[in-house]
Amino acid sequence: MHFQWYPGHMTRARRQMQEDMKLVDVVIELVDARIPHSSKNPDIDELAKNKARIILLNKADMADPEKTALWKEALEAKGFFTVLVNSRNGNGIGEVHKVIQEACAKKIERDRSRGIMNRPIRAMVVGIPNVGKSTFINTFAGKACTKTGNKPGVTKGKQWIRLNKNVELLDTPGILWPKFEDQAVGMRIAFIGSINDEILNPRELSLLLIDFLHSEYNGALSARYNIEETDDPAETLAGIAGKRACLQKGGEYDYDRAAGFVLDDFRNGRLGRITLESPE
């Protein structure tokens, strides 16, 4: 299976992001904690090279906590500030405020030495589609506003959300595209559901996922579907089709429907907390 994906509005979004980036002190990049490498566009390192950098491992609630700890360590070793976040329920959001101050400590110090005391830090959120940028912005802005008792202050032109007296956040996130440097990256992005399923073959994709789960998270499929996992993914899929009564007219297994169950269950965290890649 080949993964190719070229959205038409990519260039425009990138140019817009480059412009927005000039206005901020710190870039908050969201990655999906289940695929921190594959959901990161390496071009951002060049685009944001003079900015303070924070990486949020979002959807940490769905990722394998042991692997997440390894990723956190690996990213911090590369000089990034990191926070584990669940943007849906707000876990980790408070920590982001603290880390913004840490990441911008030099700028704050520089301002102070020039006698500038009250200039807020300006931040923007970036990431590939579906990593949770909008959810994060809503939760982050919502929480901060209740905490400080302020309504988001909106100015004309660029829309900034005033989080508190120290931080302003650009209200629209910068969109990056995943970099399909190899097929494994495309495959993992497809597993988590960030490539339109219409351009993929769900049955083939589910077989690849079953194969991965059987070797890395042995038992996750048998626990969910009450089946025998075997070394042959097609056989495992047949077992799932049987248990879930996925039958076509005439009584043959409906493999596509069974594949849909597997992909959907994985994407919604019903197969457990699973991470698809480890740091080098």
Nearer to ligand G4P, 90 or 152 (CB): 90
- Nearest approach, Cβ of residue 146 and ligand G4P (Å): 19
- Nearest approach, Cβ of residue 129 and ligand G4P (Å): 5
- Nearest approach, Cβ of residue 90 and ligand G4P (Å): 9
- Nearest approach, Cβ of residue 113 and ligand G4P (Å): 37
Give the tokens for residue 277: 């890649």
Nearer to ligand G4P, 129 or 272 (CB): 129
- Contact between residue 141 and residue 152 where contact means Cβ atoms under 8 Å apart: yes
Q: Which of 153, 21, 140, 124 is nearest to 89 (CA)?
A: 140
Residue nearest to ligand G4P (CB): 132
Nearer to ligand G4P, 85 or 170 (CB): 85
SS3 120: coil
- Contact between residue 54 and residue 125 where contact means Cβ atoms under 8 Å apart: no
Give the tokens for residue 225: 């579907």
Nearer to ligand G4P, 61 or 256 (CB): 61
- Nearest approach, Cβ of residue 213 and ligand G4P (Å): 19
Q: What value does the CA radius of gyration of the chain take, rounded to a whole number of Å? A: 21
SS3 10: helix
Helices then strands, each counted (H, E), the chain = 11, 7
Q: Is 146 left (phi over 0), alpha (psi -120 to 50) or beta?
A: alpha
Quickly count: other Cβ atoms within 10 Å of residue 256's Cβ.
Answer: 14
- Nearest approach, Cβ of residue 268 and ligand G4P (Å): 8
Q: Among all chains, which residue has been given the structure tokens 């579907």?
A: 225
- Contact between residue 29 and residue 127 where contact means Cβ atoms under 8 Å apart: yes
Nearer to ligand G4P, 137 or 240 (CB): 137
**Residues at the contact surface with ligand G4P, assessed by CB under 6 A:** 58-59, 61-62, 85-88, 127, 129-135
Nearer to ligand G4P, 129 or 279 (CB): 129
